[in-house]
Amino acid sequence: MVQIDLIIIFVLLAFVVAVYLAADRLSHFPNRGIIDVPEFLRPANPSRMQELLNPNFENGMRLTLPRREFLQQQRKSLHYVLEFLLCTAHDAYILLEFADNELWRETVTRPGAADSQEFITRASRLHRAAVEFRTYALFAIVIVRFWMVFRTQWWLPFSPPRIADLREIQGIKFHASYNRFVQAVSDLALLYGKEFQEALLNSLVKSDPLGP
């Protein structure tokens, strides 16, 4: 009887997943092109992220603040990190769609165009960079949420997290991966002209509102 119940639950879960995937596919944004992309990007502040990943910044607070105050500051810093990761994971998904659409156009819709190979090369580079960075961001989001709940509470007996440990996850180094991602976006957008390149980069990277 228990085995039958488990089978029913599995079938229902599979049905729900199938319906979700079908709905997602049917509502998919059609042919996401260079005009569409900037409107859907969520700018993030890489300068702030670099500060938070700096071990010197973190070690200074660890040495000077009482444990309870330090844990509160760590949780606050992790919220900044999480906001950056949520924005950039979303952006990587949008730009992955853009890269795939460019590849489809150049290999299926209009193969053999004069500038086709350059579009294919740069779109392929963006595809790889977006997949790599989105993988990093999704892993980091899980880690950060876990740390916020279990390792920044003063009443739990766990050691505070080291935010600088996020500099590399699963062999993916944050700085190198993010730079490759932004550079790949810039290179592909430049094929459409300087104004499109600037539009995408301005929509992708947010300057520090308190900076000069």
Per-residue model confidence as pLDDT tens digits over 85-133: 999 999 999 999 999 999 999 998 887 777 889 999 999 999 999 999 9
200, 186 contact by CB (below 8 A): yes
pLDDT in tens, 39-88: 999 999 999 999 999 999 888 888 899 989 999 999 999 999 999 999 99
Q: What is the pLDDT of residue 184?
A: 98
Q: What is the pLDDT of residue 211?
A: 55
Dist CA 50 CA 47 (whole Å): 5
> Which of the pair, 18 or 59, is modelled with greater confidence?
59
- pTM for this model (two decimals): 0.87
Residue 209, pLDDT > 60, answer: no
Residue spans of beta strands (DSSP E) within the chain: 168-169, 172-173
* pLDDT confidence band for 29 (50 / 70 / 90): confident
Q: HSE (CB half, 13 Å, CA atoms) of 195?
A: 1
Q: Work out the mean pLDDT of the chain and round it to a whole number.
A: 90
Q: What is the pLDDT of residue 138?
A: 96
